[in-house]
Amino acid sequence: LDYPEETAGRRMQTEFVAVPPFWTIGQTIDYMREDKNLPERFSQIFVIDPSFKLVGAIDLDQILRTKRAVKVEEVMHETLHAIPATMDQEEAAREFEQYNLLSAAVVDENGRLVGVLTIDDVVDVIQEEAEEDLLRMGGVGDEELSDTLLATSRSRVPWLLVNLLTAFLAASVIGLFDRTIEHIVALAVLMPIVAGMGGNAGSQTMTVTVRALATRDLDIYNAARIIRRELGVGFINGLVFAVLIGMVAGFWFRDPNLGGIIAAAMIINMFAAALAGILIPL
């Protein structure tokens, strides 16, 4: 428990099977049969030198297929995907996914074997990280149903405050045209449609961004390209729906100029929503 939270060292199991490389397969089998302190379930045996440094591993199925007189060092795998104890647990889970691992040795800064990470441990990590990303996307913290009212309220206030500020910003823009709205009732009918489409577009972009951050597909090296891509998507979608709402508004209220104004508003709104949707999670 000396390792930081959310690291492989905190997730690892300290019960594992380790043998020296000069043992024979027969000695290894006898050791597994006779030692009562070994873990109940394991699929891999680690090979260590006298200083407890990891030098290899051997799978149980390989042991069963090898003659008793053969030494462990002759059949062990020297190429291992050892995981540093200080590695972030999400990065460790990604190693399991990338290399299709069932278990992996956990080593300290000196390469000494300190534990083992299994697929069961990784599944727990994936579930926790997915829940964390979902909460982040919803703008809530890591709250529990047993939390007090004040604690729950306090965890949700920051995101609601951001939404309030953006709402005031939108209201101030609309306020610039209050006299126009008084004379053109059609704008009051059509503006909620434009605002709703912008909200949905922003939610879509934010969802994609949060997922990209969670899977590490979005980083400082490709952030500019992703931002340009999402802005382009926002502009294209804005253009498509601008044509639709512009035609509907023009025919509905029999005013081509009104259709053009609403179409322009839709393009600007969808573009701004895409920008906000990708920048807020960053």
- What is the model's pTM? 0.59
Q: What tokens were used for 269?
A: 């709104």
Mean pLDDT lowest among 74-78, 88-92, 162-166:
162-166
Give the percent of the chain with pLDDT over 70: 82
Mean model confidence pLDDT for the chain: 83
The yes-or-no verdict on residue 143 having pLDDT over 60 is no
Provide mean pLDDT across the span 112-125.
91
8-118 falls under which CATH superfamily? CBS-domain (3.10.580.10)
The yes-or-no verdict on residue 182 having pLDDT over 70 is no
Among 163, 165, 96, residue whose Cα is nearest residue 126: 96
Higher per-residue confidence, 105 vs 220: 105
The yes-or-no verdict on residue 83 having pLDDT over 70 is yes
The yes-or-no verdict on residue 141 having pLDDT over 60 is no
Mean pLDDT lowest among 90-99, 111-120, 188-197, 234-243:
188-197
Q: Name the 3-class secondary structure at 67.
A: coil
The yes-or-no verdict on residue 139 having pLDDT over 70 is no
At 31, the amino acid letter reads Y
Q: Name the 3-class secondary structure at 88.
A: strand
Q: What is the pLDDT of residue 142?
A: 54
Distance CA 74, CA 28 (A): 13
Among 141, 171, 137, residue whose Cα is nearest residue 158: 141
The yes-or-no verdict on residue 192 having pLDDT over 90 is no
- Specify the domain boundaries for CATH 1.10.357.20 within the chain: 177-279
Radius of gyration (C-alpha) of the chain in whole angstroms: 29
Mean pLDDT lowest among 47-61, 158-172, 192-206:
158-172
- Specify the domain boundaries for CATH 3.10.580.10 within the chain: 8-118
pLDDT in tens, 252-261: 888 888 888 8
Q: What is the pLDDT of residue 129?
A: 74
The yes-or-no verdict on residue 140 having pLDDT over 70 is no
Higher per-residue confidence, 224 vs 177: 224
Distance CA 27, CA 30 (A): 5
Question: Per CATH, is 177-279 categorized as 2.120.10.30?
Answer: no
